[in-house]
Structure 1
Amino acid sequence: MSSVRWNRRRVVGAGLGAVGLALAGCSGDSAPAWRLRLATGPEGGPYNAFGHVLARAVAASGGSLEVVPVSTAASVDNLRKLDDGSADLALAMADVAEDAVLGREWFSGPAKAEVTALARVYVNYTHLLVPADGPVRSVGELAGRPVAAGAAGSGVQVVAERVLRAAGLSGGPAPARERQLGLAESARALRAGAVDALFWSGGVPTPALTELARELPLRLLPLDGYVGALREQHGPVYTAVTLPAQVYGQTEPVGTIGVGNYLLARGDVPADAVRALLQVVFDRWRDLLREVTAGARLEPRFAISTGEVPLHPGAVAYYRSVYG
């Protein structure tokens, strides 16, 4: 397993062209074939869709790389699969990835396997949705109410718990009653009145929520007021972003919490396999992002912003070639 830990300053600093990274393996017909298992998310979710599009794009590239998507519970589960060796690649939200690297909260200690980043691929927007004709108009009014707070092992669960904690609703006399439900289950529960609010973290628009809004008028609760508290507690992985007007039928834009999504790899994935994968990612980014979020772009200067998660040496080599 590689023990090299790289950061963005070393990637984009002066004299990049003079610094080389030796890559193992051969070229041409003798190139090794790599079969990499990619931990994605639940069937029907955006990570799962991204993973399948990426696998098809890699296959169409005609190289010696194969990506095999694996359905999972999403971010927390994916980091654990990287650590135990049942996955080689993973998608995860930035907050969960940093927790895994630093051994915080959901992880009892730093990951045994070196977890590295290949790219920050897009930003999730945190949604907190309630029925438009219902009584809830602020996070505080969720006290004592049932809330769909993401599937167990998902990044949605992490950010939902942190928002509720920041709002004083994870304890005390009347905490929000969190129910661990995936997106499809959450939408059904909100439609049926079994929960009073739904948390989601994903691209904009999220198709399942667009469909829900056609059947049930929705209100988006603003969450940008909690960004400062989250950043103070958990670092700059959280940013203030805006959900545009009309995205789910609402008339005004709504401020909320943004969290990056990382494409990750075990540190022992071969560097030249990573370079081959990133070549496909950047060649086909429009197809990949079309599955998860509208209007986003993937650029190297954005992709290397992976916070506390070090870049894989193969990613370093790829970005050096991009920056010249």
Structure 2
Amino acid sequence: MSHRYPIRLSRKIFLILFSLGLIVSLTGYVVIKRNRVHHLTIAAGSKQGESYIFSQAMAQVVAKYNPKIQIEVLETKGSEENIQLLEDQKVQLATAQADIPALPSARIVSKLFPDMFQLVVQANSGIQQVSDLKGKRIGLPPEGGGQYLSFLFVAKHYRLEETDFFAFAVSEKETDEAFRNNQVDAVFRVRPPGNQSILDLVQNRGGRLVPIDQAEAMKIKQPTLDAGFIPKGAYQGSPAIPATDLPTVAVPRILLAHQKVDDNLIQEITSILYERRQDLAAVMPEASYISPPSVLVGTILPIHPGAQAYYDREKPSFLQENAEWLGLLLSIALLIGSWVWQLKSQLDKKQKNQGDNYNQEILALMKQIECCQDLGSLETIRHQLFSKFESVVNALDYDQITPESFQSFTFTWEAAIAALRDRRSTLMATPTPIPKSTQAQ
């Protein structure tokens, strides 16, 4: 007996220590989770581009309003590389042109701002339209970027093959330098109107903007494209550059996230994008164009669940949307329920009354048993009792009485059977009286 107490004590100590350890572990997990800093990387294109500038602004504003989310901005060659980095999970966020096919893991977070296809040519190049680029030297962004692919798409539309021109695909800085030194005849960019690099080319380097028309025709093959224009005076007010609204092709710049990025993180980032848009616009005016991806046509990419949760925050619930119909259905259901209840009450009352009638009939037979003076009459009453029991069983099968009424009946019926037995015993024990005429003899 003396050995049991230490064993029991050790078990209690183990359970107490285990419980305390579990509590401490859960508390620590919650504290760590709440205070964890999330580090994300966004693939943002070249440092001279608006995507990179926007990404830096976004990283600063997000860190300002939620220090637990730190975003590192990664310089890349452009949209195509950004999308591949996202697919390979080397980054968690990416900017891209909407006309560059995304890979399966990409999810849309937001539409950022419109980009424009812009073609700047040397003043003495003789280039008046895209088809005049044949045989010319063209400064293009590096291969692997969305801008490079966009130019090839435009060239193909105008029946230009890659062998019809000389592509000078280097960095934006190198391309601008080549344009200044007359080493290229034209420069193609996909940038918002007012882009600083293009502004320098047209204001200080004798560059001239050339229209890129037929946007609606290009939209047939690439639905994410749209007809747009570079506004008159976008690069200079007097004299106006361009001199008139210049037709071109517009394509949205979008923000993507990998599908595995935590929904709550993306919801928080989306919230800051929209609710702190003024802070973003102070750094980059194009941020004022930020809009939900639901207005973006031509892409089959789904919206990231975290972003969708933000967009649905004020969306009425199913109950709110269908309140009138649900109210009508509820009223009809209550009305039908009331009718059913009334019918059931009437049926229950009828069943109870029927059960009461059967009990009254048994009680009447019990009175006859008490008054019965011969075994023959008593046998008749016995037959009546069993006949009545059979009738009540049939009534129960056909739901003419309730189970409760049947139980009440069986109690009364068994009492009548008991009374019948007692009366039979009494009558059988009582001598039969001899008639007086028989005694006289």
Q: What interval of TM-score do these two structures reach, taking the shorter chain for normalisation? A: 0.7 to 0.9
Structure 2 gap ranges (5+) = 1-28, 236-240, 317-441
Structure 1 gap ranges (5+) = 1-24, 102-110
Residues 26/313 of structure 1: CA separation in 2 closer, same or farther (3 Å cut):
farther
Match of 2:83 in 1: 79
SS at structure 1 position matched to 2:173: helix
Give the alignment of 1:257-272 within 5 angstroms: 257-272=249-264
Work out the CA distance in 1 between the residues paired with 2:98 and 2:289: 18
Work out the CA distance in 2 between the residues paired with 1:230 and 1:150: 21
Match of 2:197 in 1: 208
Match of 2:269 in 1: 277
Which of 193, 208, 215 is 1:219 aligned to?
A: 208
In structure 2, give the amino acid aligned to 1:166.
H
Which of 212, 232, 245 is 2:232 aligned to?
A: 245
In structure 2, give the amino acid aligned to 1:269.
V
Residues 166/32 of structure 1: CA separation in 2 closer, same or farther (3 Å cut):
same
| TM-score (structure 1 length as normaliser) | 0.80
Which of 86, 106, 122 is 1:115 aligned to?
A: 106
Which of 61, 68, 72 is 2:72 aligned to?
A: 68
Match of 2:218 in 1: 230
- Answering whether residue 104 of structure 2 is matched by residue 92 of structure 1, we say no
Match of 1:170 in 2: 161
The alpha-carbon deviation at position 297 of structure 1 amounts to 2.8
Residues 66-91 of structure 1, C-alpha deviation per residue, up to 9 Å, x if partnerless? 11111111200100100111100000
The alpha-carbon deviation at position 286 of structure 1 amounts to 3.6
Residues 316/62 of structure 1: CA separation in 2 closer, same or farther (3 Å cut):
closer
Contact kept, 8 Å, 1:77 with 1:154, in 2: the verdict is yes
Give the alignment of 1:189-200 within 5 angstroms: 189-200=178-189
Comparing 119-128 with 31-40, greater Cα deviation is found at 31-40
The alpha-carbon deviation at position 292 of structure 1 amounts to 5.2
Residues 274-302 of structure 1, C-alpha deviation per residue, up to 9 Å, x if partnerless? 01101111123244356555594324476
Residues 297/221 of structure 1: CA separation in 2 closer, same or farther (3 Å cut):
same
The alpha-carbon deviation at position 132 of structure 1 amounts to 2.9
Match of 1:188 in 2: 177
Residues 102-136 of structure 1, C-alpha deviation per residue, up to 9 Å, x if partnerless? xxxxxxxxx4xx11010011110110111234311
Match of 1:137 in 2: 128
- Answering whether residue 138 of structure 2 is matched by residue 147 of structure 1, we say yes
Choose between structure 1 and 2: higher strand proportion.
1
Residues 304/254 of structure 1: CA separation in 2 closer, same or farther (3 Å cut):
closer
Task: Give the root-mean-square deviation of aligned CA atoms.
Answer: 2.4
Residues 238/301 of structure 1: CA separation in 2 closer, same or farther (3 Å cut):
closer
In structure 2, give the amino acid aligned to 1:224.
D
Work out the CA distance in 2 between the residues paired with 1:177 and 1:321: 51
Contact kept, 8 Å, 2:82 with 2:95, in 1: the verdict is yes
The alpha-carbon deviation at position 323 of structure 1 amounts to 3.9
Match of 1:256 in 2: 248
Give the total of aligned pairs: 283
Contact kept, 8 Å, 2:113 with 2:287, in 1: the verdict is no
Residues 27/130 of structure 1: CA separation in 2 closer, same or farther (3 Å cut):
farther
Contact kept, 8 Å, 1:204 with 1:293, in 2: the verdict is no
| TM-score (structure 2 length as normaliser) | 0.60
The alpha-carbon deviation at position 179 of structure 1 amounts to 1.9
Percent identity over paired residues: 23
Choose between structure 1 and 2: higher helix proportion.
2
Contact kept, 8 Å, 1:46 with 1:291, in 2: the verdict is no
Match of 1:3 in 2: none
Work out the CA distance in 1 between the residues paired with 2:286 and 2:267: 26
SS at structure 2 position matched to 1:95: coil
